[in-house]
Amino acid sequence: MKKIGVCILRTVGRFLAGVAGFALLYFGAAWSMSRIAVPAEKDAPKQVAIYITTNGAHTDIVVPVRNSQMDWTLMLPLENILSPDTVYGYVGLGWGDKGFFLDMPTWDDLTPGLAFRATFWLNSTAMHATYYKYMREDASCRRIEISCEQYARLCRFIEGRFRRRADGRFILIPTDAVYGTTDAFYEARGRYNLFYTCNTWANSALAACGQRRCLWTVFDKGIFLKYPLSN
């Protein structure tokens, strides 16, 4: 019996040591790779203003509601939000775990089960769309100017993450778990996991349109370090 107990303690000890080692490796890689910058494409004209925003944990890509290239209201109808209005100038788009979006309005609502499902590919995902009347650079918002061709690539990337109905329209998620009166959730493609988070998606969106980004990141801070405030 004593030998069995010793064996169990050794097994538990090895498991905990393995978990600690993995955590150190994971966070070390996440920190170091997020500090490595991949440069933007050179000599691209500045024709379309987009923004990146953060709530302190999650990065959104913010694009014009409509221009000559894209009218997002055709795919994200204003009647899907509580305060439809024709004066919105921008729409913020963010991809992430559906459970985090709908079941965790604040970090205080995070449960072990929700974290486990999100970490290990067990939840489906959603796109969060938020309309804004105007944008202003500050500690949580950066302006990026890109070319029309780059913007077309960005639009294709974002559209590709939405799930669609048979008629091609995006699939609205009926829910009361919206964050305000100007946002809505839509079904998304892909799986959130330990190595591909909402911020990894945003970083990939910047890569799709040829902008400065991290080599790899799971957190928002690495992205925003690439875009310091100008004043």
CB atoms within 10 A of CB 205: 25
In a domain, 231, yes or no: no
pLDDT tens, position by position, 135-176: 999 999 999 999 999 999 999 999 999 999 999 999 999 999
Q: What is the pLDDT of residue 175?
A: 95
Q: What is the pLDDT of residue 123?
A: 73
d(CA 43, CA 61): 22
Alpha carbon 153 to chain centroid, angstroms = 17
In a domain, 168, yes or no: yes
In a domain, 101, yes or no: yes
In a domain, 14, yes or no: no
CB atoms within 10 A of CB 111: 11
In a domain, 209, yes or no: no
Q: What is the pLDDT of residue 52?
A: 98
Q: Which helix (H) or strand (E) holds 155?
A: helix 148-161
d(CA 179, CA 128): 10
Q: What is the pLDDT of residue 121?
A: 47
Domain limits for position 64: 41-196
Q: What's the total number of domains in the chain?
A: 1
DSSP 35-65: TSEEPPPTT----EEEEEEESSS-EEEEEES
Q: Is the pTM above the cut of 0.85?
A: yes
d(CA 36, CA 212): 10
In a domain, 225, yes or no: no
Q: What is the pLDDT of residue 8?
A: 67
In a domain, 206, yes or no: no
Tell which residue, 145, 155, 135, 137, has the closest CA to residue 48: 145
Residue stretches of the chain with pLDDT short of 50:
107, 121
In a domain, 60, yes or no: yes
Q: Can you tell me which residue has the tokens 């690495």?
A: 222
Q: What share of the chain is helix, strand, coil (3-state, %, to 5)?
A: 35, 25, 40
d(CA 187, CA 98): 8
Residue 60 bridge partners (DSSP)? 53
Q: What is the pLDDT of residue 118?
A: 53
Tell which residue, 230, 207, 201, 227, has the closest CA to residue 60: 201
